[in-house]
A and B are shown apart, each in its own frame.
Chain A
Amino acid sequence: MKRAFIITIGLLFTLSTFAQTGYKVGDMARGFELKNIDSEMFSLRQFKSAKGYVIIFTCNHCRYAKAYEDRIIAIDQKYKKLGYPVVAVNPNDSTIEPDDSYSKMIERATEKGFTFPYLLDADQSVFKRFGATKTPHVFVMSRGDEGLKIEYIGTIDDNYADASEVKVKYLENALDALLAGEKPDPNFTKAIGCSIKYKKD
């Protein structure tokens, strides 16, 4: 009985450890290379003068993600020239969510006039490594001598329904802090989003 208890606790611990995978603020991160909508492989290194990156896991089908498209374009236009370009990554399996297929990504990006790379996480390894759980889900990384560092994880702002009613721009505040040589505060926020669609093992 005692043994069973210990095994159960051990198992629960293991499970919760698995559940906690993914980057946390302060972690060093690895870059990635994924296929962009222009059919070319895109690597973060291609933004040569970047001080960091705004990685946004987003997609076509999710209404919360759609509601943020215009805001993401505006953020890219404002912060790319300051050194923090947006890199959008679609993490969804299109066999589960057909609206998130590669061709639909091209259609959507063209229709909306995306100003940033829109990449397909085809083998779904990048979102798992980052620990993204939903769309949209933002990870801001800074680029320094020691590599890429996670500086902010969370939401874009405090109103998913109406951009004109936003009171706190969490992502922009984080980027402004980094540009001023400070640490984002808060550096971790949450938002309602669409679960990422992947096949369970």
Chain B
Amino acid sequence: MMKLLYTLLTLFLYLNSLGQIKEYNFQEFEPLLHKQTDSIYVVNFWATWCSPCVAELPSFEKLNQNFKNQKVKVLLVSLDFPKHKESRLIPFVKKNNLQSEVIFLNDVNANAWINKVDPNWSGAIPFTVIYNAEQRKYYERSFNYEELIKETYLFLTHRTKQ
């Protein structure tokens, strides 16, 4: 009986966690910008109410879907307001059925960490970092799908040469 309850509880927690979005402060988040694996990471800073960010999300989703087998991983880093995580961010991710990994960066003292992402970043979103173990590039701009795969492809070809 206890075992059954335990199993049900685990299952419940698991199902519950599906709708959750992991929250980080910058210190916890920073390692995600420096993973040393054979994957290519496409890290996009965005917010649900930022219209150019939302406009380019489908391109990132498409990239994540179409380049899965090439080990391209898209990470969508939300900079929504902390008070809007439950009321806006989670519903937005559900409603748009986002398949890329979404995390919430809750660190409102941005002056302390913007330069640690990229000293040339002014702080404007949308902002994107593409990196792998060998190289990285920063983009303070919006993307359409073609521009995004072109940039990602440069990383793929670079990797093949290694």
B is a partner of A = yes
Chain B 117-154 near chain A by CB (<8 Å), digits 1 or 0: 00011111110000000000000101000000000000
Instruction: Find chain A residues with CB under 8 A from B126 CB.
Output: 195
Return the chain A residue nearest B121 by Cβ.
A190
For A195, the chain B residues whose CB sits under 8 A away are: 52, 124-126, 140, 142
B49: Cβ under 8 A from any A Cβ: yes
Is B36 positioned at the interface, with any CB of A under 8 Å from its CB?
no
Q: Which of B1-9, B15-23, B94-102, B107-115 contacts A (4 or more CB under 8 A)?
A: B107-115
CB neighbors of A among B8-31 (8 A): none
Contact A159 B108 (CB under 8 A): yes
Q: Are A193 and B124 in contact (CB under 8 A)?
A: yes
Stretch at the interface among B57-65, B66-74, B75-83: B75-83
Q: Kindly identify which residue among B50, B82, B111 contacts A191, using a CB–CB cutoff of 8 Å.
A: B111
Are A63 and B81 interface neighbours, CB within 8 A? yes
Known contacts A63-B47, A63-B81; A190 and B108 CB within 8 A of each other: no
Number of interface residues of B (CB under 8 A): 25
Number of interface residues of A (CB under 8 A): 27
* Majority secondary structure, B binding face: loop
**B interface footprint on A45-74 (CB within 8 Å = 1, 0 otherwise):** 000000000000000010100010000000
CB of B81 within 8 A of CB of A190, answer no
Chain A minimum-CB-distance residue to B109 = A158
24 contacts between A and B (CB under 8 A): A61-B51, A63-B50, A63-B81, A67-B81, A133-B122, A133-B123, A154-B111, A155-B123, A158-B111, A160-B81, A160-B110, A189-B111, A190-B122, A190-B123, A191-B110, A191-B111, A192-B110, A192-B123, A192-B124, A192-B125, A193-B124, A194-B50, A194-B125, A195-B140
Q: Residues of A at under 8 Å CB distance from B?
A: 19, 61, 63, 67, 97, 133-134, 137, 154-155, 158-162, 165, 167, 170, 189-197
Nearest 9 pairs of A and B residues by beta carbon: A134-B124, A133-B122, A195-B124, A190-B114, A192-B110, A158-B109, A161-B108, A189-B111, A190-B123
